[in-house]
Structure 1
Amino acid sequence: MANHTGILIGSFILLALAPGCSNENIAAMYQEVVRVDDQVLTLAEFNEFFELVRMNYTEGQTGKSRAIHEARLRFLLQLIEEMIILRRAEELHLSISDEELQRAIRSIQKGYSEESFHAMLIRQAVSFETWKTRLERQLLAKKVIRKELLGKISVTPEEIKDYYEKHHNELGQGKQIHIRQILLRSEKTANEVLERIKKGERFAALARLYSIGPESERGGDMGYLDPGQLPKSLEKAISKLKPGTLSPVVKTPYGFHIFEVIERKEPTGPVIDDWVEKIRERIRKDKLEAAYGPWLAGLRARYNIKVNRELI
C-alpha cells in the first residue's frame, strides 16, 4: 500500500494553521477510529476519505447535522468492511502494483484534462494523494474478492442448461435497452453532473467518479435490460429516449438518477448459444452474493476489531 506519511503531514500542517485549532484538537484527529489487528484508520484519514463521498450522501447539510452524522456512520461501516478485507490481503501477500494503479487512474481520468480532474478534487476539498490512496484500497479489496471468492466459483454446463430451461420464457422476450446510469444522493449534485455531461464531459468518467450505483466501476453501464427490470418511474423516464440521448434527473427512493441510452434492440427469440455467457455471469453473480456474507463473517471472527464510534 502507498505510504500515508505525505498525506498525514499535509493534513497536520493544515490543521496547525486552522484558526482556533488547539493541540488537543490536533491530537484528536489522529486517534484511532478503527483498528483491525495492526491496521489502523485515524480520524484524520476517515475525514479525508469521507470528503470523497460526502456530496453523494447529503445536500445542503453542514457542520454536525444529523444527516451528515448518519452518513458518516454508514460510511464507517463500509470502511470497516474494507479494512477487514485489506487485512486478508496482508495474509495473502497481495498488493496493487504501480502499473495496476496507474492503469486504473488512466481509465477513470478518460475524458478529463489534468486541470479539470484536479479542479474536481479541489471542489471536494481533497488531495490527489488522498483520492489515489482510496482508489488503491478499493482495488486491493476487489483483488482479494476475486482471489478468495470469484476465482473459486465455477459454473457447469449443466447449471447453464438448467437455468436456461427454468427461465426460457424470460430470455430474449420483448425489446431490450442498453443504458448507462449515474446514481447520486444529492439532487443538486445530479443537476451539476448532468450539466457537465451536456457540456462535453464523458458520461462514463463521471459515473466512475460520482455514482453510488453498483455499476459505477463500469462507467455506469447497466448492460441490456428487458422490459420490467426497472421500476415503472424509471422506465417511463427513458421510454422515449433515443440512442445517444440523456434523461433529465429522475428522483426515486434510491436517489437521483441520470440515464444515457446507448442502444435499443428489437425482440428476438431465445437461442441458448446466444445466452450462455449471460447466464454464466448471472449464476456467478448469484453464487458470489451467497458466498460473500459467510466469508466476511468468518474474517470478522478471526481478527481483533476495535471501533471508536464516539469519534464520528
Structure 2
Amino acid sequence: MCGNSGSLKTRRAPAALLAVLPILGLLLAAACGREEGQGPASRVAGLVQAKLRGRPVLRVEKSEFVNADFRAYLEATGADAKGLPAESLSRLFDRFVDEKILLEAARERGIVLSEDEKKESLARLAVDAIAASEPGSSETAPPKGIFDRLLVEKYTFLVVRDTRVDGGEVLAYYEQHKRDFLLQERVQVSQILVDTEEKAVSVLRRLERTGEPEFRAIALEESRGPESSKKGVMGVFQPGDLPVDMERVIFALDEGRTSQVVESAYGFHIFRLDRKFPPALQTESEAAPEIQKRIMAQKMKDVLAAHLGGLKDTLSWQVLSENLFFTYQRLDE
C-alpha cells in the first residue's frame, strides 16, 4: 500500500509507512489468545488496546477511521482478526484503505445509491442469511457499512465499465498460451442412482446383456439422481472433476460398459461410460470465452489500479499505522 504514515504533515504526496514501535508489537503479541487479567503483559496489552481504541488509523480528506472501523470491515469480509498473522492483516488493511479512498471519490463525484439498489442489496443479504442460518436462530442486523461498500462497488463499475477486449487480443493470447487449452482425456458418463443396495443390485441385474437404450429407459424410470430427466447423462469429465473413488471406477471402464454398484454418501450408483475423448487442443473459438474472461479481468484490474493511483495523488489521505491494533508490515518488507 502506497500511503502516508505517522504524524508528519502529509498533504497530497504519498510517503512510506512507519513501522509500529517494537515494544508495542511485543505487548500486543503477548495478549493474543489470552484473556485480560492473566498476567502483567496481558494487562499492559489491554491498556495499550484501550488507549488505541479511539485513535484514528486512517484519514481521507475530512473523514477519520479508527480500529473499530477496520474490525467491522474484517467482520464483513469474514476474516478473523485474532487468527490472522500481521502480514495478512496488513494486506487486508491495504484493501480497507483503498476502499475508503474510492468511497471518498464516489461521494465527491455525487454518486449515490438509489432506494431500489439499497432494497435489492438488503434482499440478497436476507436470502444469504436464511440459507446460512440454523433453524430457530434469530435475525441478524445488516453488516455495518454495507451501503458504503455497495457504493464503492457501483463506483468501481463506473470506472471499468468501458473496458473492452477485441478479437486481435484474443487471438494473440491464444497463440501465446496454447498449453493452457490442452484438454486431458475426457469421458462422458451416465449413472443410475438409487437409495438402497438391494435396489441397485436389482437394477444391475436388469442391465445384464442390454444396451444403451435399456440403460436410458431404466435411468429415466428408476434413478433419483438430478440427471434422471436426461436419461442418466451426467456430462463430460476429466481427471479431478469427480470424487476419487468414483473416478477410479469410471476411468477403468471400457467405452459402453457399466460398472458394478458403487456406494457413496449420496446412495448407490451404477455408472456407464458412454464415450471416451482423447487429449486434444481446444480451437481458438472454443477457448475464446475463457480467454475473454481472463483478459477482461486483467484489464479491469489495471484500469482500477491506475485510477486508484491517480486518486491517491490528488486526495488528501494519511495512514497512522502506529495506532493500529497489530504491527503493520509493508508490502516490500
TM-score (norm 2): 0.47
- More helix per residue: 1 or 2? 1
Larger relative contact order, structure 1 or 2 (CA cutoff 8 Å, min sep 6)? 2
TM-score (norm 1): 0.50
